[in-house]
Structure 1
């Protein structure tokens, strides 16, 4: 496997790369991650079973789309590939450090610029991708309410129902989520799609985002998720609002947007997230 990775990197960079240093590093719950170096070039490697290659390929595609905008930084994609029994994604290695107040403000500003500069004609993506290990459908749709209610909330509820975890009538819940978004005017833009603090890093005073689950959607889904597992520092929201202010009613809509991620955690991990999903649904129904 390591020989395959050395060969693929060498082909991309146009010179021989031979692993001199290999160190296991933290990289989430899904993949094994390593820092590889020949003392001149440094790379971050994600490893998983061979059938997971599609996840790495869709992640690489999203990173490339973010990179093209030049609004906010993300790691360079070096290559993806497979060995006899493993798949891998090779990225630029970034040594992260502590972020100051100015870094967080700049992050908010750059995220707003990414949202501003990436308008699109429809909601969706060029292909389905993944949110964690869960497939994320992205069929093109001109109506945001329909897209999110059906391809986000309805999809997760159906996956849970297949595990005999039922929250109520799926069509009714879809209808409630659809109608709650009824008067919200949305311009499709490129969203990160899984924007929590674990997918943000700072290196040499620059902010980087990674592990995207991107699609063209409502920019508010990114801001909503920054509040789901503990809010970002206030400076982040100040930088965003100064650049691209949110519309009124966001506090109501974010319940629906974050419901998607809580449902996904219920699908992936069960346990407390099932109860959290029920509580979140009750808050949404109370607004209806």
Structure 2
């Protein structure tokens, strides 16, 4: 952790105006864990807060995050850091959050508790897929136009925008000439499988999940929308995964329908394409392999 410092006058005034908390003499300590925002612990009086900072143009991203956190908290399945204030100075956007002492999921009991909470979250369903506003997946805009059908939402609001970005960045040839044909065939996966429109975290890898000091499961950094619950479950298997007890407990409580393995590849293609678009060619090979797997199943 870097040495503590105080917020500049503009930021201190903006934080106080937005939150009603006195930030005179507050101490900021930089913390790691993010590649998009600057993250800090704030000591103000006898209280500790968590602060995210970015360029002023990033305010819509923080507004969307506050919306997602509020929606997840309303479900009451997980502990969710409360958004306390957000806004911007002429140079910096900020999001002030409740500080929660966290530790990684590690034990079998952690996994079982997290699974029970996720099942409860996913049982919060509605009639339509999408969300009441667009938001962000990482730093990429995420389209959430409400749809009556899951397959159409998945194609139009998830895969098409990422493939368009990838093409603009010069990856069209590597991803294959069959990409458009593949998109046309995706609805065939859902002729007999009709998922509910569950409330989803939307970016559920192990870096956005933790356990509070009292053992309560915690989620944060959401990209909320309503969709197939398998999309959350699939992403949980990316980038290190969760404890094996989590998967056993979730599947015991609410087993995925047949065909999950292929749907997992489809849903995680969205995230790998996003990483390709955000972070570059290092994710191209994985995206190509996933496209080939889907093409082998859908373009026979």
Q: Which runs of 5+ in 1 are unaligned?
A: none
Alignment of 1:249 onto 2:259:
yes
For 2:45 and 2:212, locate their aligned partners in 1 and report how far apart those are by CA, in whole Å.
19
Matches within 5 A, 1:105-124: 105-116=112-123, 118-124=124-130
Bigger drift between 193-202 and 15-24 goes to 15-24
Matches within 5 A, 1:45-124: 45-99=51-105, 100-116=107-123, 118-124=124-130
Matches within 5 A, 1:206-285: 206-285=216-295
Aligned residues: CA RMSD:
1.8
Q: Which runs of 5+ in 2 are unaligned?
A: 1-6
Deviations 1:70-128 (A, max 9, x none): 11111111111101201011111122225432122100110110111x21110011111
Alignment of 1:198 onto 2:207:
yes
Alignment of 1:186 onto 2:195:
yes
Alignment of 1:24 onto 2:30:
yes
For 1:124 and 1:281, locate their aligned partners in 2 and report how far apart those are by CA, in whole Å.
24
For 1:119 and 1:187, locate their aligned partners in 2 and report how far apart those are by CA, in whole Å.
7
Bigger drift between 36-45 and 190-199 goes to 36-45
Bigger drift between 7-16 and 129-138 goes to 7-16
What is the DSSP-based 3-state SS (H/G/I as helix, E as strand, rest coil) of the residue aligned with 1:123? coil
For 2:21 and 2:81, locate their aligned partners in 1 and report how far apart those are by CA, in whole Å.
21
Q: Contact between 2:57 and 2:93, CA under 8 Å: does it hold in 1?
A: yes
| TM-score normalised over the length of structure 2 | 0.90
Bigger drift between 194-203 and 95-104 goes to 95-104
Q: Contact between 2:19 and 2:85, CA under 8 Å: does it hold in 1?
A: no
Q: Contact between 1:187 and 1:218, CA under 8 Å: does it hold in 2?
A: yes
Displacement of 1:3 in angstroms is 3.9
Displacement of 1:11 in angstroms is 5.3
Q: Contact between 2:78 and 2:218, CA under 8 Å: does it hold in 1?
A: yes
Displacement of 1:155 in angstroms is 1.4
Relative distance call for 1:2 and 1:64 in structure 2 (3 A) is farther
Relative distance call for 1:238 and 1:12 in structure 2 (3 A) is farther
For 1:66 and 1:103, locate their aligned partners in 2 and report how far apart those are by CA, in whole Å.
19
Q: Contact between 1:108 and 1:237, CA under 8 Å: does it hold in 2?
A: yes
What is the DSSP-based 3-state SS (H/G/I as helix, E as strand, rest coil) of the residue aligned with 1:220? helix
